[in-house]
Amino acid sequence: MSSERTFIAIKPDGVQRGLVGEIIARFERKGFKLVALKMLQPSKEQAEGHYTDLSSKPFFPALVQYFSSGPIVGMVWEGKNVVKSGRTLLGATNPADSLPGTIRGDYAVDVGRNVCHGSDSVESATREIAFWFKPEEVVSWTSHSANQIYE
Ligand code: DAT
Ligand code: MG
């Protein structure tokens, strides 16, 4: 069984709109395993560090302002192909293009308020998990359901 991991965050709009439980439930029901979780208020510096690859984009200042505007819920989810599958659960970056059934397709309208973040590659996931979590905050555990989810 793969132990791939991804960093998923519920952004300030998702927290303010009461979507924390809904988003966690979608990853749980899919069959992925939660291995780390924290609520925190990102500083401007943390927001800039998280989105460092986008620092040259025109929307970067607004993105940083938004991401640091309220509490977020950061999580690490584990499972087979969880990086790519997590992106599928989130939906396209711009909610105008996100399909119904995805989180952004169901709950968001504007690209600058798209409710959730998910790592876009295994390399990004490794960097983001290390950015937001200490190693001891990520818990390795065995799910009772593992044999029902993986063949
Ligand atoms: P994603 O969050 O799907 O990985 P991204 O990494 O390209 O997308 O961009 C990070 C966030 O920046 C995205 O969730 C919303 C915002 N963003 C992206 N493109 C944007 C744009 N053209 N205008 C405004 N905000 C944008
Ligand atoms: Mg991204």
Q: Is the CB of 65 under 6 A from ligand 1?
A: no
Give the mean pLDDT of 16-38.
98
Q: Is the CB of 59 under 6 A from ligand 1?
A: yes
Can you give the residue ranges of every domain in the chain? 5-142
Q: Is the pLDDT of residue 1 over 60?
A: no
User: Does 104 carry a binding-site annotation?
Assistant: yes
Q: Is the pTM of this model over 0.85?
A: yes
Look at residue 52 in the predicted model and tell me its pLDDT. 98
59-116 residue pLDDT tens: 999 999 999 999 999 999 999 999 999 999 999 999 999 999 999 999 999 999 999 9
Please give the mean pLDDT across all residues of the chain.
Answer: 97
The ligand that comes nearest to the alpha carbon of residue 63 is: 1
Catalytic: 50?
A: no
- Counting ligand 1 atoms within 8 A of each CB, the residue from 10, 109, 111 with the most, and so the one to mutate, is 111
Measured in angstroms, how far is the CA atom of residue 123 from the centroid of ligand 2? 12
Given 117, 119, 125, 133, the catalytic residue: 117
d(CA 33, CA 24): 10
d(CA 66, CA 52): 15
d(CA 13, CA 16): 5
Residue with tokens 């509490």: 71
Nearest of 46, 45, 43, 44 to residue 7 by alpha carbon: 46
CATH number of 5-142: 3.30.70.141
